[in-house]
Amino acid sequence: MLTLKLRIWSIWSIAAGLLLAAVLFASSGCQNQIRDDGFHIPEPIDFDLDSIVKRGKLVLITENSATTYYQYRGSNRGFDYEMVRAFAKHIGVKLELRILDDVNQMFTLLNTGEGDLIASNLAILPERKEYAAFSDPLYSTSQILVQRMPGQDSVAMASFIKDSTQLDRKPIWVHRYSSFYQNLKQIEQKTGKSLDIREAPGKMSTEDLVRLTDQGQLEATITDENLSAILRADYPALDMSLPVTGPQEIGWAMRSNATGLIAAVNAWLKEEKTEKLLKRTYRKYFGNEQESLSYRGTFSLPNISGSQISVYDSLFRLYAPEIGWDWKMLAALVYQESRFNPHARSWSGAFGLMQMMPETAVRFGSDTSDVEEGNIRAGVKYIRYLDRMWRDRVPNKDERVKFVLASYNIGPGHVLDAQVIARSLGKADTLWEQNVGDCLLLKTQAEYYMMDGVKHGYCRAQEPFHFVRKILAVYDYYKTLAIP
């Protein structure tokens, strides 16, 4: 049934794309570049670096995804976002975002002047150079086949693809205008084999296709190697080991006539401090696979010896009443956040016993030098703020603490979005288990994080979902201890 729906959706998407192309062509006369696939890219407007600086802002076109841009604990994150933000600061302008989920539309808005630069994990392809200019490469990544592990099933084992000469064994779902599709077509031409390339609906992200493959609704898809490093922890039943291309260069796209901007970007990328920033940011987002496993792997309860949970028990007893919590619940939160290590620091910059983000810590009266009592005090103030925010929305105190915990981990905006999704699906928006918690997990899917009323976009929702469960499990264990 899903396959039939996807095929119908694909036909509709192609028809809609052709209709849009016709409208664009009619409205702009001969000023369009016409690609072989029928899509029209407007000629670039004249708006270069001097105009950008005079205006005071650089408009970044990107997408919502784990590798490009997303919101985490109330802050903007993402490899592409952080690198472009650094460049905007370098030229002395503010950064503005345009979030899209359609690559073709990105290039259209770039050339019409509604954006100045596309940074969205774009492979530098000859076809794309026909209607945009690219920066020097930021990094290279291969494309990886995604398929389910065969296990002991003889049918699955027979269709399992072990090397690139076997790509004709099963249908492979990719977006029509992606570099994945173009590379598969090139493989067809080189090998003479006819591959079963299926067109995925444009509204589905690459991560959506990976998820559907994990669920067995699709046979296979393609993703970039750097994204696969992030997703392996979420999908242990998937095989993401087979490269289908060699390394491909990834760069930023700009208008072909924006020669000043192109030169400024390339000069900045060659600076020694930028090269160090690039390596550090790449490791931050694509080199932390083991850390991403921490919320998914086998969970063991903490070992307790003697008559205390930690050396900070007296501080937990002192500050927990300010939020109406049992001090052991506060201890469970700190255990999950830092394992009672005041010097813990996460990939995102969270620090101290309660893993406060620096900007949040300052807001609630602390700073990065304050990793013990001051960190606990600021964390408790933040929890009190979150509890007050949720009080009218979730009146039941036992339920509300789950919303507070999830908000503490990922930021309240994503949890508010999960309430919106819950209401749209007819679920209870004041209950966590099997309701709002499950709807938070849906925020990895473009269908839901792009829906009306959902304001904070993509979320790596597995982390807060498991965060809540683990803290409650630790708290239940702490309650059984004979520690007053």
**Catalytic (active-site) positions:** 337
**DSSP code per residue over 261-276:** HHHHHHHHHHSHHHHH
Burial of 434 from C-beta contacts in 10 A (0-12 / 13-18 / 19+): exposed
Based on its alpha-carbon atoms, the radius of gyration of the chain, rounded to whole angstroms, reads: 25
Q: How many residues does the chain have?
A: 484
What residue type is assigned to position 10 of the chain?
S
Strand order in the sheet with 172-174: 197-199, 172-174, 220-224, 143-148, 238-243
d(CA 191, CA 172): 16
The tokens describing 190, both together, are 């080189």
Sign of the torsion formed by the C-alpha atoms of 30, 36, 42 and 47: negative
Give the residue from 197, 292, 177 showing the smallest Cα distance to 244.
197
Kindly give the residue spans of alpha helices, DSSP state H, lying in 232-312. Answer: 259-270, 272-286, 289-292
CA dihedral 52, 55, 60, 64 (to 10 degrees): 180
Q: Where would I find the beta strands (DSSP E) of 162-216?
A: 172-174, 197-199
Give the residue from 352, 229, 356, 210 showing the smallest Cα distance to 285.
229
The tokens describing 150, both together, are 């065969």
* DSSP at 44: P
**Inter-CA distances, 280 with 82, 252, 284, 356, 401, Å:** 11, 18, 6, 21, 36
What SS3 class is residue 460?
coil
Residues in Cβ contact with 480 at an 8 Å cutoff, skipping those fewer than 6 apart: none
Are residues 417 and 442 in contact, defined by beta-carbon separation less than 8 angstroms? no
* DSSP at 129: G
What residue type is assigned to position 31 of the chain?
Q
Are residues 142 and 245 in contact, defined by beta-carbon separation less than 8 angstroms? yes
98 beta partners: 61
Q: Where would I find the beta strands (DSSP E) of 28-84?
A: 32-34, 40-42, 57-62, 70-72, 75-77
d(CA 119, CA 254): 9
- How many CB atoms lie under 10 A from the CB of residue 484? 6
